[in-house]
Amino acid sequence: ARKVLFDTDPGCDDAVMLAAALGHAAIDVVGVTTVCGNTTVENTTHNARAILELGGYDVPVARGCARPLVDELATAEWIHGGGGIRGDLPYPSGNIGDEHAADVIVRQAREHGDDLTIAAVGPLTNLALALAKEPTLPEIVDDIYVMGGAALAGGNVTPVAEANFHNDPAAASRVVQDAHPRMVGLDVTNDATIPFERIESYEERGGVFETIAAWLRYPADAIDVDETGPSIHDAAVLADLVDPDTLDFADYYCEIDTSGGPSHGSVVCDQHGVYDEAPNTAVALDIDDARYREVVDEGLSAYAAR
């Protein structure tokens, strides 16, 4: 199985991704690090532990940054739910280690080397810190995936900026400059939808599936969701980790706007090569949505069946 360290801010779509990753036979979750984003880092850490305990998994969780590098944090409980998550979850009993998330990222990279993939699906604060501590991180590990940004699509928190990048543009900028990430942004995650019929079938099965259904339904109570169903952004990363044919990537030179102006936190993707700069980012531009849904269902079903 593919060893993956998840840096996350659960968050309902994070919860779906994490549960499906824990359940999926093709993925070995070697660690979970938490960051502020959808809610405070206290809440995201609590939620991460609760997701593990709901499924009966024991994976070390390390708490990370409580605020972005430069910007103020903008949380999103209004969409993800009070405490940053929806559904019935156990009150977690497990301990959180003293080691900071950024140190865990560096340590696990050194331990697992090119057997490890890092998947960051919240603001990139922890990953940027890890890069500052260990600039060779991208050469040490197999791959670095991030959910965030929008290269050619519009934004979701401003007309041009996506939430994770907008929360910490300085961190996103560092990661894009130095980590040669696979950027899984709104260009594909808007289409990473789960149909309402699937959500209803989970509701009918009850138990853990009911909690999963509440995560999947998350945006529908707060914003308009069309009949293709809610976009479960973070899970698009997992689908490609399991089956690399799920997403199509193209290499581009990208910069993150950290100007503080109206396009703050947005991605400037040089799709026509006008800057004459070497590509620094693999940008996801197409998703096999049927395959995506299959992988997510495989993982969630195994997680719920434990």
Catalytic residue numbers? 233
Q: Which is nearer to ligand BDR, 31 or 230 (CB)?
A: 230
Amino acid at 260: G
Q: Return the number of other C-beta atoms located less than 10 Å from residue 188's C-beta.
A: 31
219 is a site residue for Ca ion (CB under 5 A): no
Burial group, residue 98, by CB count within 10 angstroms (0-12, 13-18, 19+): exposed
Which of Ca ion, ligand BDR, none lies near 162, with the C-beta cut-off 5 to 8 A by kind? ligand BDR
76 is a site residue for ligand BDR (CB under 6 A): yes
Q: How far apart are CA 159 and CA 186, in angstroms?
A: 12
The residue from 33, 34, 38, 44 that contacts ligand BDR (CB under 6 A) is: 38
Q: Which is nearer to ligand BDR, 13 or 71 (CB)?
A: 13
Q: Which of residues 113-142 bind ligand BDR (CB under 6 A)?
A: 121-122
Position closest to ligand BDR via CB: 163
Q: Which of residues 215-254 bind ligand BDR (CB under 6 A)?
A: 233-234
Q: Which is nearer to ligand BDR, 33 or 164 (CB)?
A: 164
40 is a site residue for ligand BDR (CB under 6 A): no
For ligand BDR, the binding residues (CB under 6 A) are 11, 13-14, 38, 76, 121-122, 147, 156, 162-164, 233-234
